[in-house]
Amino acid sequence: MQYTTLGKTGLQVSVAGLGCGGYSRLGQSTGRSETQSIALVQQAMDQGVNFIDTARNYRTEAIVGKALKGRNRDKLVISTKTTLADDTGRKCPAQVVSELEASLRKMDLSTVDVFHLHGVQPSVYDHAVEKIVPALLREQEKGKFRFLGITEVPPKDPYHETLERAVQQDCFDVVMVAFHLMHQSAREKIFKHTIIKGIGVLNMFAVRLLFSKPGRLNHVVMQLVNEGKLPTWLAEKEHPLGFLIRSGGARTIIDAAYRYCRHEPGTDVILFGTGNRTHLRSNIDSILSDPLPAADLEQIEELFGALVDVGLDAPGQQRPA
């Protein structure tokens, strides 16, 4: 495993981070038992992954807590989150603090390393900073979490409006952002600021359905060609990104997607999610692989550099294939 420092937090984190949500939720969404999901988290740790990201909404915090039993907590970096809105409207500070405490109980931990405001939409950002952050900073002083983070909600904020504001302020130590080879806008809007300010960056959406679901990429490319956003020759290919798969290049499209994100300046941890032990190993291998060839990176930039809001489907909100 390779390790890096998460911004200016000083936390030493694996460049491959296990995401416990997404479509799989550690296999919970695909019929895996709790025991199997616990074993998956432990397998990741055995392979050197020390960054584990969960959330109240993922309903995997208890699984993570059980997987941590008997492990050296000092060598692990645990991240969890809570949202700022529910069916009744915006949550008050007391609700958010209560949910932080509930997360700690579910994982049987006295503290987490990073606590995020989860999926903060632009319309809720002022509420987050003015009402919620001050209350959480008081809990931070009590030792309930070490660093404060914020995550965007890509399907509803594809232009990074929330994080554009967050990286200009000093209250957030870590951000979680969507960035992949067909959605590169965070490079200019987010990374150039986080690098300067030392804000830790967690990269989500490196793969998701766009590159993993059969037929999804072809459908999206055809749509973009019809909209005049991509050249027609890409739609004529059986495998639109097949030019990346070659000797000296990527092994698969998923391999290319992870490697592209891993070696982007400004990214610290590349999050991946799975409920499959074999996929876990192959995902880690890809994240630890060398950068893509320079010629491939140039073509990716030429073809996809101007695209925004591509491949940002959320669980339960899949766009038609």
Tens-digit pLDDT string for the chain (321 aa): 999 999 999 999 999 999 999 889 999 989 999 999 999 999 999 999 999 999 999 999 999 999 999 999 999 999 999 999 866 678 999 999 999 999 999 999 999 999 999 999 999 999 999 999 999 999 999 999 999 999 999 999 999 999 999 999 999 999 999 999 999 999 999 999 999 999 999 999 999 899 999 999 999 999 999 999 999 999 998 999 999 999 999 999 999 999 999 999 999 999 999 999 999 999 999 999 999 999 999 999 999 999 999 999 876 544 433
Report how many domains make up the chain.
1
Residue 85 lies in a domain: yes
**Residue-range definition of the domain harbouring residue 162:** 3-209+265-293
Task: Say if 88 falls within a structural domain.
Answer: yes
CATH at 199: 3.20.20.100
Q: 204 near 273, Cβ under 8 Å?
A: no
**Residue 253 lies inside a defined structural domain of this protein:** no
Contact (Cβ atoms closer than 8 angstroms) between residue 6 and residue 267: no
289 lies in some domain: yes
Whether residue 149 contacts residue 117, with contact meaning beta carbons closer than 8 Å, is answered with yes
| 279 inside domain | yes
The verdict on pTM exceeding 0.85 is yes
pLDDT at 7: 97
Asked if residue 236 belongs to a domain, the reply is: no
In a domain, 302, yes or no: no
| 91: in domain | yes
